A and B are shown apart, each in its own frame.
Chain A
Amino acid sequence: MLDDVTKDKPVLTLEDLSIEFPTPAGVVQAVKALSLDIHKGRRVGFIGESGSGKTTTALAVMQMLAEPGRVSGGTIDLGGTNILELSEEEMRRARLSRVAYIPQGAMNSLNPVMRVEPQMWDGIIAHEGHLDRAELKRRSDAALASVGLPLHTADLYPHELSGGMKQRVCIAMGIILNPELIIADEPTSALDVVTQRQVMQTLKAIQTQIGSGLMLIGHDMGLMAQTVDELAVLKDGELVEHGTVRQILQAPAHPYTKDLISSVPLVGGESFLSPDARADAPKRTSSEPLLRFEDVRKDYGSVTALHPMSFTLQGDTPQIISIVGQSGSGKSTMGSIMLGFNPPSRGRVLFEGQDVAGMNAAQSLDFRKNVQAVFQDPYACFNPFYRVNHALKFPYKQFGLATSEAATQRAMEEACAAVGLDPELVLPRYPHQLSGGQRQRLIVARALMLSPKLLIADEPVSMVDASLRASILSNIYDLKDKYGISILYITHDLATAYHVSDYVMVLFKGHVVEAGPPKEVIGAPQHPYTRLLIDSIPWPELDRSWGDGRTDWDPANLEAEAARAEAIYRGTVPGFDLIEEAPHG
């Protein structure tokens, strides 16, 4: 099956590995008879959803399974050593020196009260005893340099580093003793797309340089395609498919693998949506535009999160306007300003001609009824004290939509059914009993029940499992398509914005840098910043040069260049007018 790999001895051999967790309900088999080799210098991706056993496998190799998990069968062989037979002290010595672990939560993976340098040194000292300072310094500096960090990083505390820098420090720590195997557990899941590309390039380059094996755990097929040589697909603790990345992408054998591949939205290519009937917008009594920004600006202290922006959304035909950008671009600030949660520092936000900041009680209730939202975190959106139907029932009654208890119940059931949930199964539950996907669908159902005129969807799918994203997005798309609701879609994900939107605005440091119909802006970007974003997305296209270990690719330079470029306006769509910003300088 695997063609050109067997010339080296494997650095890791898993044979019939089984891992189980005893629970009150019985024993849960987290990993079932998993067999796999990782060879020297090879990168092997473990892909699967949360709960598929991929992280559990990695922790078993580290002998760091959380209680009460245990290896119930099989062997783990690390370069000729049977790990399961090592004593605690021997295993401690093997960690870092033979197998290094690069953690998922780079944000919290460094000791907050220690500078970077001692945190790199203590790893060396724990394995090689006390070396002299100059030697320690030489090695930590070399490690920092190898991940492209400036040497003064050594004297900083973790909170003084950005997310990408922290993750690169973790990589530098991991390779400081030249391990045979590196385990990277979703190393970029907390980073934005540009930083992700940079960190992955660093990781690939350094792994190639020291020639160790790499076990990369992840859920993003695109990232895998751009990074690894071999792919292991896990589902419910079972290895369902294993082969070279090319082989799997071109001819996936298992239906689950096919699902994984097709769930990655691509720019261009086939849409995951199936546009239906074009619904009309709800009958509007006002001739005023639905939403209007008049020179809206937001400052936080001396930092300007949003530079003066003006646009008009007419709202006569339902539209989806996408606002894309990285964290810190001001896109979420825009969202909270539109919802009236966050008053603008200057300028006005008008809803149907009425200033959002100066509404009386009746107008305010009307505004609330007509402007609804779907937030990023489906876990936080439900009050843990109530059953989930509270979140649907309460606004329905509050806005005077309920005629009777039975009618409310019926409306809730219909809304659930419309987003693909079984109302009887879901509605009487408490939030913690539902999955993230189910909760987010319920929030969409809630919006549907209230049938607002405008919906603000702020990163609605970034926290749900990859395989569910497409279907939840199509639920949201249906709100426009079937129910005629205008939507402002705030996202970092250009590929989905490409498919769902009628108009796209790319935000960078509080400025619109490129705007227009998605086919133009995302399909053929012109602004350097938009190009940077698009270049950074890992697509499952094998022949693209995404992370080939180039070291001249420096996002900081590219961003600085982008900041100098003028905004580019790529045409308009009827019903939405963005006022062009005056050229700067």
Chain B
Amino acid sequence: MNWKREVQLLETRRQFFGRGAKGLSAAALAGLLNGDAAAVPTGGLPGVPHYAAKAKRVIWLHQSGGPSQLDLFDYKPQLKKFHGSELPGSIRMGQRITGMTSGQASFPCASSIFKFEQAGKAGIWMSELIPHHKKIADEICVIKSVHTDAINHDPAITFIQSGSQQPGRPSIGSWVSYGLGSETQELPAFVVLLSQQNSVNADQPLFSRLWGAGFLPSRYQGVRLRSGKDPVLYLADPAGIEREGRREMLDALQALNKMREEAYHDPEIDTRIQQYEMAYKMQASVPELTDLSKEPASTFALYGEDARKPGTYAANCLLARRLVERGVRFVQLYHKGWDQHNNLPRDLALQCKASDQGAAALVLDLKQRGMLDDTLVVWGGEFGRTVYCQGRLTETDYGRDHHPRNFCMWMAGGGVKRGFQLGETDDYSYNIVSDPVHIHDIQATLLHCLGVDHTKLTYKFQGRWFRLTDVHGNVVRPLLA
């Protein structure tokens, strides 16, 4: 931890505490947002982290829909010669495919029409669609051999976010906040940001289960931070109630609750009194958090002008940085619109235009603030896309179906190697030829970076000790710094 960052953090925290904190010490606020007065100050489990953590917090940039690895990171120059020819049976090997293309008479290969270049010391291949990513090539670690079990959106997103294809399990963010608690008493430990669609193809729904707490107590569920007047639901006072008037009401309420507490001695009443104070403070601190107007011009030069528009991916990337600065443990960002079944060249370009700069800026920004060392950034979708074309194939146009057998993700920051790539796929980007990394391995590795042994972060439900990685998952050692 460097001193410069310490000072910055203190500064931001002071802004949070600034107004209206009278009478409540930081310690008294402990665990308030977890809704648990009895919790230890950070609200995590005793004994967790299990070992020294490299990362203290996570920003997960989920690219919902399934970005095409073939058009972004998994460069296949040999495919040019196979463009339009049938995917060999020896490659496909009868693997299951979705109901959308299983009826197709043929499976012609579609080579990417985009130009690729190598970037950074490790020579990571990147396509022309993501020019800003080239600037972070020396910071990120690209995994080209991620694979998943699911073949459609709902089970695949549910799988990557909760370790199970079927609903009912806690999300990864809620596992982390359950295990590690919060670094801050002023904001929820687990915050969710949804990016509005910028492109033409944003028809993938999301589900609140993706940030739900499953069978964990509901206090661990992600809190959605929305763009607009009420970033947190019902945050703003109703029209016609000013701050001083609200304070008067609260003072009366707290006095009445205190009297009840004296008669009943129920500790829940005391907790409630503190929660109301916390809510009052959040009404000041959350708008301060989401107000980007005081960010210097250099911020917008870095993230792009889009970042001034609330709800865009760039604005949310910036917000993610502000959240982790204030001690939020897990920021889960969703960016819809990566499901290019057809018109891929046009739509993928739009999608990248809307997201390339924000993601790269976030990494650079964390780095310049000295926070990349202990913040883990994860980028990726729920699966990849097929080498064979879905629908019409021309020299300039094609579409791709869902492909679970290999796709690309990247990680950057706390605990993982920088300027590194792992895994190889065959010439068709259809099968993994080296270093397969399963979704459960990604999850295990993420927890490992946080100092958590994924086999030991468990919760007993219906008599069974559940964990994020079910009974699977291995830490991907070659990724670790």
Chain A partners chain B: no
